[in-house]
Amino acid sequence: ERVEAIEKKAKAVFDKVKAACDQLTEAKGGQVSVALRKAIQARPVSAEALFAELAGKGGERIPEKTFSRHLDGLAGLIITPEQKQLLFQKSGPDGITRRSFFSMLERYF
């Protein structure tokens, strides 16, 4: 009984933490989307060209380090390393695919 009670409490805490992470990821995702679109308009460069630039020559995915550095350079975006990691994990743990990148741009358009 005691073990079951502890497991139940642990699951409840886990569910709360997951919900909080999901909310944070959604909020920061919106801020990243706005900042990326502003950067594209300011350069001006197409979304496709920016993806190619970040993914590298012939790249199919944007690596986490590259995406993180790019986010650090976006004007007006305040985001912690942990928040970037949450966003990256949601977009794709092996790198941000073209589809995920465009989805990120269009989500709040």
Q: 67: domain CATH number? A: 1.10.238
- Are 34 and 42 in contact by the 8 Å Cβ rule? The answer is no
Number of domains the chain is built from:
1
pLDDT of residue 94: 82
pTM of the model: 0.78
**What range defines the domain where residue 64 resides?**
2-106
pLDDT of residue 26: 84
pLDDT of residue 103: 87
pLDDT of residue 86: 87
pLDDT of residue 59: 87
pLDDT of residue 109: 44
pLDDT tens by residue, the chain, 109 residues: 899 999 999 999 999 999 998 888 888 888 999 999 998 989 888 999 999 999 998 889 999 999 999 999 998 899 999 999 888 887 777 889 999 899 888 865 4
- Are 24 and 83 in contact by the 8 Å Cβ rule? The answer is yes
- Are 60 and 97 in contact by the 8 Å Cβ rule? The answer is yes
